[in-house]
Chains A and B, each alone.
Chain A
Amino acid sequence: MAKCRIKPILSAEEAVKNINNGATIMVGGFNYGGIPYSLVQALVDSGVRNLTLISNDTAYEDVGHGLLIKNGQVKKIIASHIGLNKATQRLYNDQKIELELVPQGTFVERIRAGGFGLGGFLTPTGVGTEAQKGKQLLAVNGKEYILELPLTADVALIRAHKADRYGNLIYFGTNRNFNPTMATAGKLVIAEVDAVMEVGSIDPNDVVTPGILIDYLVLKGDSYYAART
């Protein structure tokens, strides 16, 4: 089914009602940058549990989606780095959370494969390391590669700079990171933005994410971290 042409603008609280217990979610962001802070805070407040979280890192214990981990709302994490969040480290050491660590380039490419209709891809990254454990190795022209499989999610929560009412998105600074890729790989995609503008006010040459990928728009809130990014 095609998505609405004119995207509904929801509050963060309304938007995260689309995320149920046990859902697999993608959350954009790298370190402090490009996290959809208002959406993840609403998800924390919703109390939804047993989530599988696909995000590059797990932010910090008291920042962004790091709070989902600290609150015990996440059962499994797929990420490249968890070192910034002490709660993740603690829960993992106590065997209270499942963790799949993926090299960062492989992480984003798996999401890209998921969103772009690929069955997987071959990467030299991780050959001869723990990262190849349980995966198929293939030799192409005498060089070894790991077969990596796609990642998709029930819902992708992303952060962009501005949207038009059709959901076309532009990004700003280092807030871009994983967001445009995750926008292709969620069944439902919710974008948190600084501003929503009339159709025609974004030059089509500047659009990074076409609006046909987006379901809902949410305006960025004014919490400390949301405001400064």
Chain B
Amino acid sequence: MLPELEEEQQRIRIARRIALEFKDGDVVNLGIGIPTLVSDYIPEGIRVVFQTENGVVGAGPKPVTDDWRFIGAGGRCLSLQPGSALVSSEISFGLIRGGHIDHTVLGALQVDKDGNLASWWIPGKLVPGMGGSMDLVTGVKSVIVATSHTDKNGNPKIVSTCDFPLTGVGVVSLVVTEYAVFRFLKRRLVLCETAPQVEMKDIKKYTGAEFDVSDSLSLMKGCENE
């Protein structure tokens, strides 16, 4: 069995690990849910420029006093960092599609062994729509998926082939779950890091796709002091 974790612990572990991917000066777009948490864990000395789909380049944390003239894509108030820019949607998506954003962090319904992502539609049940996600996975240089390892019913979210409609084809660079970190290297899914007390047989059991194991497999970064 994989070690049991509280939901909050899962979310923190994923967000904290993803925050370690950024370099000083990177421009980053965060999706809703766990991805939003990532901004709380940026290491000291790393300055990241957060971009929001609705037109902020240089978004800061939730302000002390809400001003609804400044919101993020999730509809919560935000502050502006010194030196930020406010742009229209056509420029915001020009930045996204045009390759001017370094990383996007998105949630997932499923990711498959070919780097396909499904995140916007559960046929017959729920159609929230793709929003900006299809443009993000198309234009942003690195697509990071933040997801629990399995869904509520214990089914793997990393699968051989996505069943749900795709957001993008072969677009994912990195998948971070509460138990493992996988990278897509030369179009192959590679296990690179595992969390404390996680055994290989369990990772295999709860991952629905075949994967390679990195020669330099290591402890999941950020978990050193757990």
Contacts and interface: CB of A to CB of B under 8 A. Distances in A.
A103 B72 CA distance: 18
B121 interface: yes
Contact of B90 (A32, A33, A112, A130): A112
Interface in A174-206: 174-181
Interface stretch (A13-21, A66-74, A119-127): A119-127
A103 B71 contact: no
A228 B131 CA distance: 25
Contact of B121 (A123, A130, A174): A130
A178 B89 contact: yes
A220 to B, nearest CB: 12
Contacts of B71: 31-33, 174
Majority SS of interface residues in chain B? loop
Nearest to A209: B88
Contacts of A101: 127, 129-130
Given A129-B134, A129-B167, A83 B128 contact: yes
A81 B129 contact: yes
Contacts of B167: 129
Interface stretch (B8-16, B33-41, B52-60, B208-216): B52-60
A33 B89 contact: no
Interface residues of A, number: 46
A103 B130 contact: yes
A33 B75 CA distance: 8
A182 to B, nearest CB: 10
Interface in A148-187: 171-181
A105 B54 contact: no
A174 B135 contact: no
Contacts of A92: 127
Contacts of A52: none
A30 interface: yes
Contacts of B56: 174
Nearest to A84: B75
Interface size, B (range): 35 or more
Interface in A207-229: 208, 228-229
B134 A181 contact: no
A104 B72 CA distance: 15
Contacts of A81: 128-131
B130 A131 contact: yes
Nearest to B133: A103
A46 interface: no
A12 interface: no
Contact of A108 (B52, B90, B138): B90
A129 B68 contact: no
B90 A103 contact: no
Interface string B99-113: 000000000000000
Contacts of B131: 57, 80-81, 83, 103-104
Contacts of B127: 82, 89, 92, 99, 101
Contacts of B168: 128-129
A178 B87 CA distance: 10
Contacts of A228: 68
A30 B89 contact: yes
Given A31-B75, A126-B134, A104 B93 contact: yes
Contacts of B68: 32-33, 228-229
A108 B92 CA distance: 10
B75 A103 contact: no
A174 B130 contact: no
A131 B135 CA distance: 11
Contacts of A103: 130-135
A228 B75 CA distance: 13
Interface of B: 52-56, 67-75, 86-90, 93-94, 96-97, 121, 126-135, 138-139, 165-169
Interface of A: 30-33, 56-57, 79-84, 89, 92, 99, 101, 103-106, 108-109, 112, 123-131, 171-181, 208, 228-229
